[in-house]
Amino acid sequence: MGSKQPNSPILIIDDEIESLDGCELTLRSGGFNNIITCQDSRLAMGYFERQTIAVVLLDLFMPNLSGQELLSKIVTNFPQIPVIIITGMNEVETAVKCMKKGAFDYMVKPVESKRMIFGTQRAVNLQEERNEYRSFRKKILEDNLEHPTAFADIVTSSKSMRAIFQYVETIAETGKPALITGESGVGKELVAKAIHKISGLEGEFVSINIAGLDDVLFSDTLFGHIKGAFTTAEKMRAGLFQRAKGGTLFLDEIGDLSMSSQLKLLRVLQEREYYPVGMDVPVEADVRIITATNEDLLQKMQEKKFRTDLYYRIQTHNIQLPPLRDRKSDIPVLIDYFMEKTATTLNKTKPTPPLELYTLLAGYHFPGNIRELESMIFDAVSNHRSKMLSMKLFKKHLEKHRSKQDHDSLKTMRDQSNNPYSLIEPLPTLRKAPGFLLSEALQRSHGNKDNAARILGITRSGLNKAIKRSKI
């Protein structure tokens, strides 16, 4: 006998024994063998109290306790469990309402076998990913790291991030400069703080974004000045090097530093001393330097915009952080984390995210990475008025940015050629073109039909008809 699939049982709730048996048989034919059934909806909640349930398949029309009423109970008490609604043709409108209340999906009777198996598998995959995150994060933070608390502010289940944590622990106590690279919004400063925490340095962690600092302001801000150094210098001012004495100085956006300021920073790293503005006696630079950038410094070096000697000084240790689109497993846990954080900040009750949200965001590119996701969650939680988090603001945000992305892509194509189809080799025939477009839209939307329909500029109903005609 093989292992149970999934680990926790699938619960089927239907008052009709024929439907109940048929649903179970279909799922077993699809490889699911961990299934329990319930014919009396009044007894259903007892199953949740006795064991962990992976997925629920719920009939809408039942005596005593309707599917709608039972859905409300499940969503309220066990919001993490995906619920798939099974409905008759005349109940589709009601099923859509159930989706808004928190159902994961709905299927219309008689349900096609492939549709039931695929929809259930999708729900099982989501649930198992969330469960894996919980156990994985616990393992990382409790068993595999020497300083788990240093990474407490970095919410992740990614294996690549786990490897980065281990590397950070290795280099943190060396005291040597470190360069953190990655796109804007990936959490570079959080990693810098983790390095500082593990380093054991007694001084402060001091952070500054040096983008836009001219040469004069750079010197004054980092090195400070003495009284009378310039017209408005009415008293002595300590710079950030002094403030960070015995600790860590984090310089963000190092790629934007002017060439003259780069030379000053290089001298500090070489000589381990600096001169406050107006002072001719050097001061010891007793700090650890950590820098960060979202730019390609190697490219800037080739363009003579970044000093080669400075580059090799600051990147004794180099940490490359992956973008959120390469850490899709982190999206569900980040959603939960930011909802909790925002709800606490605003003194509001934490809403329940619709399970559709995870699918929607999984297909998004996230040019602004984690910072963009946090902003989206804050906006949505700030405006929510019910237990279930609204999808409206998320869809609006994605449509806005996708429109811009599509516009930019189209512009690029037009810059390359007056005919964008010239990039397609070979061209599909007129007979095959509709199927080609449908397949491409479904691929770009990761199988989400609502998103695929938006890409093609048609309704979901129109998309389904087109798929049926094309037989894809």
Instruction: Please give the pLDDT value at position 386.
Output: 78
Residues with Cβ within 8 Å of residue 469, at least 6 apart in sequence: 434
Instruction: Please give the pLDDT value at position 440.
Output: 78
pTM value surpassing 0.75: no
Q: Given this chain, do its domains 10-129 and 145-322 carry the same CATH topology?
A: yes
Q: What is the band of 461 on the pLDDT scale with cuts at 50, 70, 90?
A: confident
Instruction: Please give the pLDDT value at position 64.
Output: 87
38 touches 44 (CB < 8 A): yes
Q: What is the CATH number of domain 325-403?
A: 1.10.8.60
Closest-CA residue to 173 (of 302, 339, 288, 344):
288
Q: What is the band of 83 on the pLDDT scale with cuts at 50, 70, 90?
A: very high
Q: What is the band of 471 on the pLDDT scale with cuts at 50, 70, 90?
A: low
pLDDT for 142 beyond 70: no
Report which secondary-structure segment, H or E, holds 55.
strand 55-59
Q: What is the band of 417 on the pLDDT scale with cuts at 50, 70, 90?
A: very low
User: How many of the other CB atoms lie within 10 Å of CB of 8?
Assistant: 17
Candidate CATH numbers 3.40.190.10, 2.160.10.10, 3.40.50.300, 3.30.930.10; the one for domain 145-322: 3.40.50.300
Distance CA 123, CA 127 (A): 6
The domain limits of the chain are 10-129, 145-322, 325-403, 424-472
Q: Which two tokens stand for residue 188?
A: 């570079």
- Per residue in 121-138, pLDDT (tens digit) is 989 888 877 775 665 455
Mean pLDDT value across residues 346-364? 88
Distance CA 435, CA 80 (A): 36
* Length of the chain counted residue by residue: 472
In the chain, pLDDT over 90 holds for what percent of residues? 50
pLDDT for 421 beyond 70: no
pLDDT for 338 beyond 90: yes
- Per residue in 150-171, pLDDT (tens digit) is 999 999 988 889 889 988 988 8
Class of domain 10-129: alpha beta
- Per residue in 183-229, pLDDT (tens digit) is 999 999 999 999 999 999 999 999 999 998 999 999 999 999 888 87
Specify the range with the lowest mean pLDDT, choosing from 2-11, 159-168, 263-272: 2-11
Burial state string for 17-31 with b = 16 or more CB within 10 A and e = fewer than 16: eebbebbbebbeebe
Answer with the residue of higher pLDDT: 140 or 284: 284
Instruction: Please give the pLDDT value at position 313.
Output: 92
Instruction: Please give the pLDDT value at position 133.
Output: 60
Instruction: Please give the pLDDT value at position 2.
Output: 44
pLDDT for 399 beyond 60: yes
pLDDT for 423 beyond 50: no
Mean pLDDT value across residues 287-295? 96
Give the residue ranges of DSSP H helices in 294-391. 297-302, 308-314, 330-345, 356-362, 369-383
Could you tell me where the beta strands, DSSP code E, fall in 92-168? 105-108
Mean model confidence pLDDT for the chain: 86
Candidate CATH numbers 1.10.8, 1.10.3470, 1.10.10, 1.10.260; the one for domain 424-472: 1.10.10
